[in-house]
Amino acid sequence: RAKETGKGRTVVYSVRESSPPQHDISLEAAMFHAVREGEFLLYYQPIVAARTRQIEGFETLMRWKHPTLGMVPPVRFIPIAETNGLINMLGAWALKAACVQLRQFEDIARRPLYISVNISPRQFRSDRFLDVLDDALAFSGTPGERLVLEITEGTLMVDPVHAEAILGKMAERRARIAIDDFGTGYSSLAYLKRFPISVLKIDRAFIKDLPAAEKDGAICNAVLDLAKHLDLSVVAEGVETEEQLEYVASRGCDYVQGYLTGKPMPAHVAMAALKENLYAELLPDELRAGIL
C-alpha cells in the first residue's frame, strides 16, 4: 500500500503496511467514546542493561481497556487512529503522561532513567508535533535527554527532507531518536549517516528464533557491528529466553527488552519492579551474584 502518493513524496512500501488490519467501523466509533470515557491507558516495559539486568528505562505502550471487548491490542487500534487522526491526540497524551511518569520512576530508582515513546508517522508529520514535544517536557520538567522517541524507517523515508528538519529540532531539545523495528522496513542504510539517530531497536523477528537460526544470527551480528562503528546503542526487542539474552549480550548488545526481563506492565507494577531492582542493587556483590 502506498503511504503517501502526493507530489514530491516518496512512495513507501513495507511488509507491515502491505496488509493493514480490517478497518473496523464499529471499533472506530467505539474509539471516540473510549477517549471520552478514559479507556486508554499506558503500560511500561522495562529496557534493561543486557549484562546486569539493571532497569535503564521503559518503553511506553498504549492499551485500550474496552468494557466488553477487554484489552484491544495496539495493532488493531493504532492503524485506525492513524487513519482518522485520533493518533495526534492520543499520542500527545501518551508523550505528556510518560514524561510525568518518568519523574515518579526516577524518584523510586534514585538515579536517572529514560522513557521511550512511540511516535506514529502521522504524529511525526504533524505541524503541531514540536509544540506537543515542548509542552510534554515543560509540563513534566523532564530534561530532553531522558526522552527517546521511537520512529520507524518508514516514517523517515516518506519525506526525508522534512524528517531531517524535524530530527534536527528534536536534537536541539536533546531528545534521542531510536529506529524501531530496525531491519523490517524499506529504507536505505545511508539514512543512518544522514540523520541524528542514537539507538537501533532490533526487531523481534530477528531475535525470536535465536540462537538456532543462523541467518537471523548473521543479521543481528551485522547490526551490532554497524552500530558499534557508527556509535549507536542497540536494544534487542522481544528477548524471551536466557539463550537469546546470552547470544546478543555476548556479541556486544547493550540493552534488551522482552518478556524475559519484564512484560509491559501498569505504572504501579513498574514501580514495584524498580523497588526490587533497587533492593538488588544495594546488596553486596557476592549476594547479588546469586539473585540476579
- As measured in angstroms, the least distance from the Cβ of 233 to Mg ion is 15
Beta carbons within 8 Å of 8's beta carbon, 6+ residues apart? 159
d(CA 87, CA 52): 36
Rounded to a whole number of angstroms, the minimum distance from the CB of residue 203 to Mg ion is 5
Q: What is the DSSP string of 109-159?
A: HTS--EEEEE--HHHHH-TTHHHHHHHHHHHHT--GGGEEEEEEHHHHHH-
Q: Closest approach of Cβ 238 to ligand C2E, in Å?
A: 4
Q: Which is nearer to ligand C2E, 56 or 180 (CB)?
A: 180
Whichever of 113 and 115 has its CB closer to ligand C2E, that residue is 115
Q: Considering the complex, what minimum distance in angstroms separates the CB of residue 286 from ligand C2E?
A: 31
Residue 139 partner contact from Mg ion, ligand C2E, none using kind-dependent CB cut-offs of 5 to 8 Å: none
94 binds, among Mg ion, ligand C2E, none (CB under 5 to 8 A by kind): ligand C2E
d(CA 201, CA 98): 19
Minimum CB distance to ligand C2E smaller for 15 or for 283: 15
CA dihedral angle for residue 184, residue 187, residue 188, residue 189, rounded to 10 degrees = -40
Which residues contribute to the site for ligand C2E (CB under 6 A)? 45, 60-62, 73-75, 78, 91, 94, 118, 120, 150, 180-181, 204, 237-240, 257-259, 264
Report whether 125 contacts 157 (CB < 8 A): no
Name the residue nearer to ligand C2E (CB basis): 1 or 110.
1
Q: Which is nearer to Mg ion, 56 or 181 (CB)?
A: 181
Beta bridge partners of 183: none
**How many whole angstroms separate alpha carbon 113 and alpha carbon 54?**
11
Which residues of the chain form contacts with Mg ion (CB under 5 A)? 118, 150, 180-181, 203, 237
